[in-house]
Structure formats: structure tokens, C-alpha cells
Chain A
């Protein structure tokens, strides 16, 4: 199909049409090019690629390299989402090019619009779609002491450990170090020093491993680091983009639960107090009492106990302008500070707390153990895409 036909074909389709995709579909990739040797700034170039809808965006880029311009720079190897080379941003969203279907990317881009491919974010671009992983991603991995530190000499045979513990850390072992979560991380955008989702998931891989002898030291280190485990803002971006379902943010939350619940590490970042304040308030009222959030967080989680953490006084003073702004804008009122209503069915909330607390162990969801929910979704997705395939 010629480029002209293709464009005409697209134009002829009704704008609100939801009909089946053209089987011999052509696509247009709009790739951000950058040549550090040219002295020019980055620029956009469009490539028409003629591949089947079920092939990947990477196949599209390779098609452009094979047929039109082999100087397009992209790291890629396995084509199967296991080597982690081809992280890019597609229509603004971080992903592996090899496991993003080109027809899905087209649907996101919108009919008749090019599929936009850019290098990953939060890392310096070296050339075209190639970023400097060493300067950011690997530096952060190195930061979390990424090797097992067992106590003493190894046993004669294998370490005997609970089967579940190995399955538990397998979720973070499944990480392929592609950097897609690093690219998508909003906290990293604000604080480039943030250890970040990939490295913290890697840290959990050791914290969750019963063979490691430095669990508390690792947790304390990452709790006390102002750019450590409490620097995550729970935006879920890393979970959404991770091509391997590692769910880095879940691993960060596990680090926090281990640090607070198992080791009661009262960190100078008030992560401990903040988490405790949250839990206590929901238990009391069912909803957050926003006005008490700051003082409780800085006060070891409690208004009554007051400032047990000397460093927190300074932070509390620093937070005053925020409180004043809230008062001025009407977001916080004196009444709201003093009174906070309970939920009508607060008793049920307390029952949930009781039920959880009566469990001997903390219930942790894990991809490899409790996989049925996500699997059902995947099943449904597969159902939706089965049509048209042999």
C-alpha cells in the first residue's frame, strides 16, 4: 500500500468509526531524533512503516531502520520484553517498545495521527532514543548495596528458607532493569536525588530475602535517607508502566511496612509518624483529618505524645507557611482543625481494623502467589484481542 493510499484510506474512514482495523495497516512513527555530533538540537522525523497490527512499536522502528534510515539509534535485543533494552516513551507514556503493540499505540495516538516515540525521561539523552542509564539508573541501583549480605559462612547445602519467601521476592527478581519506571517517576522529576522505584524494588529483593543478614541496616539506611523510601508520593506511575508487573511502588510500601511494623524505625523524615498518623486517624474517624496530619506526622504519629523527634520541630516550623496558605485559601478552617466528623458507619471501619489485627501475619499481596485478580483481567484482555487471530 502506498503512503498516499494509506493516508487517503485513513481520511476516508468516518471520524467516529469504530470499525475493524485495516489488516495491511500502515503506521506513521514520529521519532524524536538527536545527534550529539551535529551541533543541532533535537528534531522530529516521521517514518511510514508497513507492518501488521499485532507487531510491536519496536518492529515499527526496526522497519524504519531497515527500509529508510539505519542511523536511528535505539538499544534493543530480545524483542520479547526480557532484556530490558528498549525503554522509550510512546505517546508520552514510558514503555518497552517491544511489548507495545503498534495498533494499540495507534489507538492511543488517535486516528490519523502519528505515533510519537521519544527517549525515556529523567535520564540524559545520548543519541536519538538512547539515554544514559549509567548516570541515573545504575547509579541508583548501586546505591542500595545490591548484593546479598548473608551472616556468616554459607551452609554446606542450600539455605533452608520458606518456599513463600522465595516466591515473594521473585516479584522484584522479575525486574529486568529497563528503567521504564525511572522514566515515569514523578518524584524523580521533582527530586533527582530520589533513590527511585527500580532501586527501591531492588532493595526489597534483599530485605524480603531471609538469607540476607542486613535487613534492619538496609531498612534504617533507606528510611533515614531524605531521598529514600519515604520520598515516594504514591502516584502509581511506576506500577502502571512496569512491563514486568514488578509493581515497584508496592515494593516500596513493603519496605515501609517492614521498617515501621517490624523494626519500628523512627526516622528523621517522619515517615514512621506520618504512616502511624494516617492509620490512627482512619481508625478514629474513617476519613483523614487533614489539619492534624502535619502535627501528628511530626509528632511520632500522635498529638498527645507531642514532639518526640527533635529534628521534627524544625520541619514543623518550616511547614507553617503551608498551613497558613491553607487557612488563607479556605482549604483549612479553624473549625475543621478542631472538629472532625466520624463516618456514619465508623464501627465497620473499626471491625476491619480488628479483623486485620487479629491476623497473626501481615497479609501481603504478591504477583506470584495471589495472582488471580490480575490474571482475570489479563484473561479478559486476551479475550478482547483474540478475534481476527488464527
Chain B
């Protein structure tokens, strides 16, 4: 039974940052990841990381942009913390070895990003997330006081008699053995849940495991309806074209060759908030001004060629390898696609959830700094700031505390659940078919434009699939790298996530940020300037509300 002071689940940026921060305080730290840490999806955050580091810039300006971007649903105390601490965090990462782009004078250089009133995005070509992730992993290799459990899959959280978090049940993917880890604090850093949707920019591992496990352990989920559709994804496969392209000056064109953002956001044009740009594109497509394949065009050829090759190299490759397009010489067809969940496990500014001993950081958490819509290049920042804060707080909280004892029989229950999936004979549809149906209904009915009727329809499908997955069988009967049985567990996690997203979307009867209800097309601050919290409660989640924290910015009309 492995024991640690702090157990971190997930080893993307939030998880690695939390682990390092906790270890620096002298705590015994274990970090568990279902993939090797450098395979984590933080890799995909290409464009950069925001920080008001320039003396001409200010954290207040960064914070206001974030508040406005969130459509006033972000908690302003949390946003202030994030924006204030951003410069030091970026410098810290620079000191650890991140090869940030430099100006001619050798200082850190920036690029422009959407929804921002200053160019404050620091970057490494268009591999910023990858560079940060690999540099943090270098630090994990250096600091062997952090014990790494690579390719271990966590199936459930464990609590003690008093209800506080006491550990987690985890399967060693390599040999199929199941272990109960105990810890004084558990930090979930398991990332997003984009795989619920098809297509999505998210990697196959983004299955909302931590969100579902926290929900099952009694932690409330907040603002789950807030799901970002990124404006520039490849049709069909959903791969991401970084916002950095528009940051470097690329244009969006409809099939008539018109730069249509003039009609939606005349000031910021292509660099309006993502929800605004995605809705504009979808409107163009729905009203017949898109291309026959249901897309509009992103024209990067207006960016100087040497600049593209130097700083947008990754999307040159994506265009060439996955769309057969040379983006330096012709526009590429794109559409809004599932990208990020602003909602997640409700936490405070130190990552604490409502369950004692349970923390969450990064995309799986909802602090909330992103509210109804996340600004580009704020996600990397979110992972690092709140990963670090969670790590520090969790380590301090556990100091002097006795190792908790998990109550009940989580280990036996999980072992039995896994065994019953493996030993079951096939009687119904394949896992892949259930997943495909979920992905389709979510993308068709819970995406850029929503309404009550189609949301109700989606909920019905999700509830049916939740029943169906209970009896699903798998092909792989082995113990070593049985990815099939993990897929079954992930699908259960995903359906819990899907249910909460649809429930939140039905509940919020207004249009704010990423949630646009065609039956309630206006933002309604009188009734809905509040968070929606969902707690596990039998067949359907229990709904409650909490206030949005305001510090210095009153809600205004939001135009770009």
C-alpha cells in the first residue's frame, strides 16, 4: 500500500507543477499518470502563456481582459490571484530552462492573442505547452524525491470514516495489479473531457476521469455547461490550428471571400474572444456563406513566410500532414470545434474542493478563472498558478497530520468491478459504438447553439447510454496493458461528465460566454449572474447556486 503525504493524479502541467511545489516544502509526493507525463495533453496548448510582465502592461489590465472574456462569470478574486502571480511564474519557468522567444535585445518577447488588450503572450514557436511540459518533466527527473507512477490508471477515490479524502485506487497498466494508495491530500490534475464530443481537438486521453471521480466522491461540479468551441479546428478530425495564427495576423474569410468578422467584432476582428469568433463562424456557415464542407477559411498567407516558418511551424506540419494544404500559400478550411471545458470541480483559490483533503487544479478544476469563456493562452497559466498553489497548500495542510485510513472496501469493490467487465460475455453493442453515439449527440445538440428541446434530447441519449455501458463487454481478457477495460472505465467517466454538461446547459436559461441558448438569446445578469453547482444525488444531479465573486469590475455589455 503506497503512502504519500500528497498524491497527485495526472501529470500534465498542473499535476507536475503541483508535485514539484509540494516536494519543495519537504512533503513526500507521489504523482500518478495514466500515460507517461510528457504524453499529457498540455502539449497541445501551442500558442503561449499570458503574463503582464512588461512594465508598460499591468496585471489589472490582464485581469480585466480575463473578466470580460469570461462574460463576467469568472470569480474576480481568483482572476486577480492568477494575473498577479503570472509574471513571477513565467520568470520561474524561464529560469528552469523554457526556451521562450526573445526580442532583439534578448529579453522575453511577446505575441498578440485573442481577447487581450496588450500583446502579453509569451511563447516558444508554436510548441509552448510542449516546451513547458518537457521542462517540468526535466525537473521531475532531477528531483527524485517525487515518486512517479507512470502508466497507472486511477479508478476511484477513497475516503476515511469522517468523509475526508484518504487515497485512491489505482491500476498498474503494465501488469493489471490494483493498489490502494493512501495520502493526506489528493490533488486531481486529470485535465479536460473533450473526448465526450466528436470531433474534438482533445487527445484520446481527455476523458474527464478526475471530474467524474470527484463528482462520485461528493465534490460539486461548477459551470459544467461552459464548453469552449475553438474557432479554428480542422473539419472531420478536429485537430487544432493555434490561435497564434490569428495572433500573427491571419484572416478569417467566408466562401465569398469576405472578412466577415467586420460584422461581428469590428474592433478586435479575428482576435475577439473565442466564443464570439466561433459563433460568428457558425452563423456564416448556418446562413449559407460557408464552404460546402461546412467550413470557413483561415488565410495565413497574409503573414510573412519567414515568420510562419519560424513561429507557426507546427501548423505548417498539421496543414501538410492532416489536410494536405500548404498554409504558406493558400487558405485552410476550418470550423469551430470542441476544445476546452471551463467548468469542472469547484475549488477555491488554493485548489481545495468541498471535500476535505481533495484538491483539483488545471482543466479539471473550476476556480473559476475562465467563467463562461477562456481567453487563449490563459489555460497554461491556470495550470501553473493553481497547480503550484494546490501543491503548496496540500503539503502544508498535511503537515503533522496522521496518515488517514480509507474506510470501507474501495479496493475490493474496484477489483470486482474491473473483473466483472473483463469476464462478461458480449451481449450488446461495442464500446466504440456507444462512444460514437455519445460524441455525435454532444456535437450536434450541445455545441455552439443550444436550445431546450435538443438539450433534453441529448440528456435522454446520455441517460440511456449510462445504462447501456453498465453491461458492456470487452475483447481484451488480459492483465498486461489491457487498454480495452480502461476504455470501459473511461466511457463511464465520460458519460457522467456528459450528463453534467447537459444538465448545466438546460439549467442556465440565458446566453453567456460559450453557452448560447437560441431560446434565451440574451445575457441575463439579474437571474443568472451566478454559478451552477451540480452534486451527485441518485439518478440526477442536485442543482445549487453560488455567487460570482466581484472585486472591482461591474458587469458591462461585452463587445469586441
Q: Please name the residue on chain B nearest to A145 by beta carbon.
A: B142
Interface residues on A, range: 35 or more
Q: Which residues of chain B come closer than 8 Å to A67, judged between CB atoms?
A: 430, 432
B465 to chain A, nearest CB (A): 16
Residues in A whose Cβ lies below 8 Å from that of B142: 147
Check B138 against A148 for contact (C-beta < 8 Å): yes
The answer to whether A73 touches B483 (Cβ under 8 A) is yes
Residue A389 at the B interface, CB < 8 A?
yes
B309 close to chain A: CB less than 8 A: yes
Chief secondary structure at chain A's binding surface: loop
Query: Is the CB–CB distance between A77 and B204 below 8 Å?
Result: yes
Q: Which residues of B contact A157 (CB under 8 A)?
A: 91, 107
A158 touches B318 (CB 8 A): no
Q: With an 8 A cutoff between CB atoms, is A356 at the interface?
A: no
The docked-state distance in angstroms from the alpha carbon of A142 to that of B141 is 7
The verdict on A386 contacting chain B, using a C-beta distance below 8 Å, is yes
Residues of A whose CB lies within 8 Å of any CB of B are 35-37, 54-56, 65-67, 69-71, 73, 75-85, 99, 101, 126-128, 130, 133-134, 141-142, 146-148, 150, 154, 157-163, 166-167, 169-170, 173-177, 206, 209, 211, 367-369, 371-372, 375, 378-379, 381-383, 385-386, 389-390
Which B residues touch A134, using CB under 8 A? 150
Residues of A within 8 A of B430 (CB): 66-67, 70
User: Which residue of chain A lies nearest to B100 when distances are taken between CB atoms in the complex?
Assistant: A166
**B320 CB-CB contact with A under 8 Å:** yes
Q: Which of B100, B239, B291 contacts A390 (CB 8 A)?
A: B291
CB distance from A76 to the nearest CB of B (A): 6
- Is the CB–CB distance between A78 and B203 below 8 Å? yes
In the complex, chain A residues whose CB is within 8 Å of the CB of B326: 378-379, 382-383, 386
State A368–B97 Cα separation when bound (angstroms).
19
- We find that the number of chain B residues with CB closer than 8 angstroms to chain A is 82
Convert B440-466 into 0s and 1s, putting 1 for each residue whose CB lies closer than 8 angstroms to a CB of A.
000000000000000000000000000
Pairwise interchain contact A159-B481, C-beta atoms closer than 8 A: no
The verdict on A147 contacting B317 (CB below 8 Å), with A173-B124, A379-B329 known, is no
Chain B residues within 8 Å of A, Cβ to Cβ = 35-36, 38-41, 43-44, 91, 94-97, 99-109, 124-125, 127, 130-131, 134-135, 138-139, 141-142, 150, 174, 203-205, 237, 239-240, 291-293, 305-306, 309-310, 313-314, 316-326, 328-329, 333, 430-432, 436, 474-484, 487
A175→B102 CA distance, assembly (Å): 20
- Residues of A near B138 (CB, < 8 A) are 146-148
Q: A82-B43, A162-B106, A177-B134 are in contact. Are A167 and B310 (CB under 8 A)?
A: yes
Seed contacts A101-B321, A381-B320; 14 additional CB < 8 Å A-B pairs: A54-B322, A54-B324, A70-B476, A82-B127, A85-B36, A166-B101, A170-B99, A173-B124, A174-B313, A368-B313, A372-B309, A382-B320, A382-B324, A390-B333
Determine the distance from Cα of A127 to Cα of B39 in the docked complex, in whole angstroms.
19
Set B97, B130, B314: member contacting A209, Cβ < 8 A: B97
* Cross-chain contact B313 with A367 (CB below 8 angstroms): yes
A221 vs B95: C-alpha distance in the bound complex, in angstroms? 24
Nearest-neighbour CB distance to chain A for B334, whole angstroms, equals 12
